[in-house]
């Protein structure tokens, strides 16, 4: 619980009030300890945490859950989730620490390669096993984490919001993001020379020369790999076909493109040409299989998934209403799931607090909140003068049988 900013540990108002009620914390104001009544009146209001939200918070904490505030901007985009990008919460602070060291140490560099964003060129660099002196010359402009030279580069990678955090706002450690469009990695796999360094980035007195990698590249991949007889058999079979001679394969620049090429070829083989099946709008029925109009029964599942996709596109354009918003992330206690403050992981549920006096959430609100939450279920906590009831809406697939 809590967060640290500017070297001091801070507590959120609801956390402080909960600890006061448990008898674990004393809050002083003007040298006098606050009573619980003072705490309620000072910390709970409609701007920060309302009384109903605090009731839900306290209820869940007393049951043993870990409850954090929900920050919509710290949710990873669907693309980032797809890549399973590691959550870069502490990345910024770690980077700043390394900047203080005067020269890039060889040991830290291997860490920097592991922690920098995964990319094709990175993996190739590691596999090429270039000697360290060349890594110093070539890697400094690319990676921000090694040495003082990285300082200027580092700034451009993060969105501008990071340094301008207001004191009143809660610091959002998750909002530091890599700006992939401005990071460029050299293609060391292709033969030839690397671009010379910009002298302004290096400490004074060091003049960069041109880097000739040819003699080093000749020395890599010289070790013989011992394979089992089954693997040798597989190698022999593959060598016979020699996939590398294929022109289309040569045109692929990385593994992702090669996989796409394989998929395309397989789809063509199965009679599903790409121009029909890989767009936003797909045929409801395979045109290669003739069927009469009377027998045509579209798959209801396609409708529901199309409808969902269309609705989510619509919801992206509609502005959210202020009345309904997700308040908390709820994580299961430590013994059940592995929760770490630096890496909380996926929450167990997200809470939206409402009351029986207020309106029932309509379909638009439900869809909006569940879209915002991603794959974590949204639980509605209805507070009724001391009683809390939890409701959740589950997506439901209609049964598939359609009878004439």
Partner 1 sequence: MEAELQPQEERSPAPVVGLSLCDSAPLLWRLQDLKAVRSEGLVGALLGSLPRTPRQNVRLGRPLLLLPEEERLLGERGGAAALPAQNQEAAGGELQQRYTEEQQRSFEEQSVLALEDRKSALVRAMTSSSGSDPASDEALQHRLLDLEQNFSFPRSALAVQLSTARAGLSHCPEARAFLEADWPIRAQRCPRREARFQVFRDLRGRGFFLTSAGKFGGDFLVYPGDPLRFHAHFIAICLALDESVCLLDVLCAARLGSNVKKTVLLCSPAPDGPVRYTSLQWSGMV
Proportion of the chain in helix, strand, coil states, percent, rounded to 5: 40, 10, 45
Cβ 360 to partner 1 shortest distance, Å: 12
Strands 211-212 and 378-384: unpaired
Task: Determine which residue in the list 2, 10, 62, 314 makes contact with partner 1, applying CB under 8 A.
Answer: 62
Nearest to 362 by CA among 316, 315, 398: 315
Task: Determine which residue in the list 2, 4, 41, 259 makes contact with partner 1, applying CB under 8 A.
Answer: 41
Query: Per CB under 8 A, does 40 bind partner 1?
Result: yes
Tell which positions 242-261 bind partner 1, by CB under 8 A: none
Closer by beta carbon to partner 1, 17 or else 140 = 17
Cβ 54 to partner 1 shortest distance, Å: 9
Query: Per CB under 8 A, does 149 bind partner 1?
Result: no
Q: How far is CA 348 from CA 66, 71, 196, 344, 398, in A?
A: 10, 15, 50, 11, 26
Residue entry with tokens 């395309």: 264
Q: How far is CA 107 from CA 6, 103, 114, 220, in A?
A: 29, 12, 12, 21
Residue 295 token pair: 């027998």
Task: Determine which residue in the list 26, 166, 207, 335 makes contact with partner 1, applying CB under 8 A.
Answer: 26
Cβ atoms within 10 A of the Cβ of 302, count?
Answer: 12
Closer by beta carbon to partner 1, 36 or else 402 = 36
Task: Determine which residue in the list 7, 8, 32, 73 makes contact with partner 1, applying CB under 8 A.
Answer: 32
Cβ 63 to partner 1 shortest distance, Å: 6
Residue 49: Cβ-neighbour burial (10 angstroms; 0-12, 13-18, 19+): buried
Task: Determine which residue in the list 12, 16, 20, 66 makes contact with partner 1, applying CB under 8 A.
Answer: 20
Closer by beta carbon to partner 1, 31 or else 242 = 31
Nearest to 51 by CA among 347, 388, 315: 388
Residue 354: Cβ-neighbour burial (10 angstroms; 0-12, 13-18, 19+): buried
Q: Kindly state the number of chain residues that form the binding site for partner 1, as judged by CB under 8 A.
A: 34
Query: Per CB under 8 A, does 335 bind partner 1?
Result: no
Closer by beta carbon to partner 1, 38 or else 71 = 38
Is residue 129 within 8 A of residue 220, CB to CB? The reply is yes
Query: Per CB under 8 A, does 107 bind partner 1?
Result: no
Task: Determine which residue in the list 386, 396, 399, 403 makes contact with partner 1, applying CB under 8 A.
Answer: 386
Give the C-alpha separation, 212 to 107, whole Å.
24
Residue entry with tokens 């690319």: 142
Question: What radius of gyration, in Å, describes the C-alpha atoms of the chain?
Answer: 28
Cβ 184 to partner 1 shortest distance, Å: 52
Residue 368 token pair: 């909006």
Query: Per CB under 8 A, does 63 bind partner 1?
Result: yes
Query: Per CB under 8 A, does 181 bind partner 1?
Result: no
Q: Which stretch binds partner 1 (CB under 8 A): 50-58, 119-127, 286-294, 329-337?
A: 50-58
Cβ 348 to partner 1 shortest distance, Å: 18
Cβ 71 to partner 1 shortest distance, Å: 22
Cβ 2 to partner 1 shortest distance, Å: 18
Residue 377 token pair: 């279920």
User: What does the binding site for partner 1 look like in residue numbers (CB under 8 A)?
Assistant: 18, 20-23, 26, 30-33, 35-38, 40-41, 44-46, 50-51, 55, 58-59, 62-64, 356, 382, 384-387, 389
């Amino acid at each position: 619980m809590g967060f640290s900013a500017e070297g001091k540990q801070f507590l959120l108002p609801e956390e402080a009030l909960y600890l006061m009620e448990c008898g674990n914390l004393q809050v002083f104001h003007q040298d006098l300890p606050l009573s619980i009544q003072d705490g309620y009146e000072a910390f709970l209001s409609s701007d920060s945490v309302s009384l109903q939200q605090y009731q839900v918070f306290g209820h869940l904490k007393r049951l043993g859950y870990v409850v954090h505030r929900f920050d919509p901007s710290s949710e990873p985009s669907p693309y980032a989730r797809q890549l399973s990008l590691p959550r870069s919460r502490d990345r910024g602070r770690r980077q700043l620490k390394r900047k203080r060291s005067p020269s890039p140490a060889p040991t830290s560099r291997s860490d920097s390669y592991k922690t920098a964003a995964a990319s094709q060129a990175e993996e190739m660099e590691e596999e090429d096993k270039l000697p360290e002196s060349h890594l110093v010359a070539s890697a400094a402009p690319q990676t921000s984490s090694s040495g003082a030279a990285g300082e200027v580069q580092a700034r451009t990678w993060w969105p501008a919001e990071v340094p301008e955090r207001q004191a009143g706002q809660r610091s959002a450690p998750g909002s530091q993001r890599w700006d992939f469009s401005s990071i460029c990695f050299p293609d060391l796999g292709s033969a030839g020379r690397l671009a010379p360094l910009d002298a302004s980035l290096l400490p004074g007195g060091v003049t960069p020369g041109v880097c000739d990698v040819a003699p080093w590249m000749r020395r890599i991949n010289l070790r013989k790999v011992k394979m089992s007889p089954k693997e040798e058999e597989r190698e022999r079979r593959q060598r016979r076909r020699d996939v590398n001679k294929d022109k289309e394969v040569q045109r692929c620049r990385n593994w992702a493109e090669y996989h796409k090429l394989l998929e395309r070829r397989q789809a063509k083989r199965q009679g599903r040409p790409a121009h029909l099946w890989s767009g936003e709008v797909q045929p409801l029925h395979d045109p290669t299989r003739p069927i009469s109009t009377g027998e045509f029964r579209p798959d209801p599942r396609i409708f529901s998934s199309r409808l969902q996709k269309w609705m989510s596109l619509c919801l992206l354009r509609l502005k959210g209403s202020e009345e309904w918003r997700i308040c908390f992330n709820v994580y299961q206690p430590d013994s059940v799931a592995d929760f770490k403050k630096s890496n909380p992981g996926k929450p167990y549920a997200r809470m939206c607090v409402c009351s029986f006096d207020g309106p029932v959430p309509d379909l638009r609100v439900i869809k909006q909140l569940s879209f915002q939450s991603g794959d974590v279920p949204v639980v509605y906590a209805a507070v009724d003068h001391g009683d809390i009831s939890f409701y959740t809406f589950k997506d439901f697939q209609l049964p598939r049988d359609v009878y004439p």
